[in-house]
Amino acid sequence: MSGARRRVGRAASGGRGWREAAAARRPALGAAGLWLCALALAGCGSPDRNATATGTAADSADQTMWGLTQYLTKAGVKQAFLQADTAFMYEASGRVDLVHVKVTFYSEQGEAESVLTGKAGAYFTRTNQMWARDDVLVVRLADQARLRTAYLEYDPTKNEVRTDRPYVADKGTQHFEGVGFTCDPSFINCSTQHAKGSAGQLVMPAR
């Protein structure tokens, strides 16, 4: 079936549809085996932020999925929950382009800490790296602090979220602006440069 393109329907709950679709392309590997192989592969450059998740993606993708859901884990611990309206899968590169993406980040105790949304994004199956772009919004659930930017990367190997773009962050009456930052997914421990605002740091701790 090499070179064939397939349109796959809505993903099943918990991301099973994604794994089943991938397994259908390569019958020699079971669904679990294929996913474990993808997670075990290492070494990938920085995510390509210039590629698009729209336009001709549907014409060139190996598979197309609607209603994608997928948990991202590390050493058996849940790190994030990925959702997207549409996903275009490219098997050779291990890349999945996403339309209308939502990512929920979890603490080590399994509690939801923050939610990211964006109009477009990409997920890389070999590293679990992700990026989102276009009207990216992050809401910290503990206090509803909000951060907006044009582009945001998630690196699970370092457990950090980062950007080199301008951002705006608000928490209640506090307002912050800057260019570029690095945070943990809880958006409490952050470092940034060229920041200005009513309290002098990116996002104040929730507690």
Q: How many CB atoms lie within 10 A of CB 113?
A: 19
CATH code at position 112: 2.60.450
Alpha helices in 51-154, H assignment, sequence order = 57-60
Q: Is residue 203 part of a domain?
A: no
Q: Is residue 160 part of a domain?
A: no
Q: Is residue 184 part of a domain?
A: no
If you average pLDDT over residues 80-96, what whole number do you get?
93
Q: Is residue 163 part of a domain?
A: no
Q: Is residue 191 part of a domain?
A: no
Largest CA distance in the chain: 59
Number of domains in the chain: 1
**For residue 191, what are the contacts with CB-CB under 8 A and spacing of at least 6?**
181, 182, 183, 202
**Mean pLDDT for all residues in the chain:** 74
pLDDT at 82 over 90: yes
Residue 138 is predicted with a pLDDT of 94
Q: Is residue 132 part of a domain?
A: yes
Residue 108 is predicted with a pLDDT of 85
**Domain limits for position 133:** 6-41+56-154
> Whole-model pTM?
0.68
Look-up of token digits 């659930």: 141
pLDDT at 204 over 60: no
Residue 190 is predicted with a pLDDT of 85
Q: Is residue 29 part of a domain?
A: yes
Q: Is residue 80 part of a domain?
A: yes
pLDDT tens across 136-160, in order?
A: 999 999 999 999 999 999 998 888 9
Whole-number Å distance between alpha carbons of 22 and 31: 7
